[in-house]
Amino acid sequence: MTTAEAPAAREIPYVSAVNEAIRQLMEADPDVFIAGEDVAGYGGVFGVSRGLLGEFGERRVVDTPISESAIVGLGVGAAAAGLRPIIDIMFMDFMGVCMDEVVNQMAKMRYMFGGKARLPLTLHTMAGGGMNMAAQHSQCLEAWFCHIPGLKVVMPSGAYEAKGLMVAAVRDDNPVIVVNNKLSLGMKAHVPEELYEIPLGKANIVRPGTNFTIVATGRMVHESVRAAEMLTADGLDVEVIDPRTLQPFDTETCVESVRKTHRALVAHEAVRFGGIGAEFAAQIQEEAFDYLDAPVGRVGAPFAPVPFSPALEKHYIPTADTIAAEVRRLLGKQG
């Protein structure tokens, strides 16, 4: 077959990549099952589990009562007993209802049993705004969970990452929280058909650059790439890094980049104050202080609930323009 005749790389949407990962994991391992509100008959509010009930049956695709505490408790018990549950909490905002199970049971059990209890539990949830779902269905709360020892937290930026990180999460013997982004669900990317893992704790350099570093999470990776392209007009060659895993954070890759570029900014959709970007910025400044020509900048949402109004929400969520403006402000402070 000539190059001209070679088939084009398969592109599928983010949501399909998550669905495919779960389906293939369930095919490969009978201990994997999914449970949550509306995951069976309805196929999930966002379509993540669509079609799985017909293929695997109600013992492995489990509709639960509307009780997040009970759902996570089910997952903790099943994982401790040797299964590999995928627990779906449809909106990240609802995690507040089950914080005791997540923080005091799921995260602690392996430690409290001296490592004898394995907790291969994947908690899947949806975060982010942009769909006019208002203050109780649009938050990004990943910083809560990155603060808890015993939990791993991943945030895929696209379809390729969504599948590879889900596979790695389910195969891990520790609790992993997978935070997907609602507004990204229709975004397409090349996704291999076979099962593949993206190693947890390893960042990806999405766009190489030489004189500025942006570390961005989730959908802000794409906004940061757009910002980088805009900033070429300012003579900047911006490197964009996607951590992929927020906890553990790949400090080494980010610090290595800053030692080259001498300037950095962290961008996330969550509220700026107390966001995970503050921790990233602190680690970069601790490890690369002597290489920095400016303070590490941060971009995030304002300290307010997510608005319902489409016009206000559009203004609330950071964009490529927001990120580019902050880069220019940081450089302007250098004279």
* Residue numbers annotated as active site: 68, 137
**Residue 231 to residues 92, 125, 217, 227, 328, Cα–Cα distance (Å):** 33, 34, 19, 6, 9
- Burial (0-12, 13-18, 19+ Cβ within 10 Å), 309: exposed
Of 308, 280, 306, 321, give the one whose Cα is nearest residue 140. 306
Of 246, 172, 250, 238, give the one whose Cα is nearest residue 211. 238
Greatest Cα-to-Cα distance within the chain, rounded to the nearest angstrom? 65
As beta bridge partners, residue 178 has 124, 154
**Residue 10 to residues 153, 204, 207, 219, 224, Cα–Cα distance (Å):** 28, 21, 22, 21, 25
The token duo for 244 is 């992929």
CB contact at 8 A, 153 and 247: yes
User: How does strand 204-207 pair with strand 264-271?
Assistant: unpaired
CB contact at 8 A, 243 and 215: yes
The structure tokens 């090349």 sit at 190
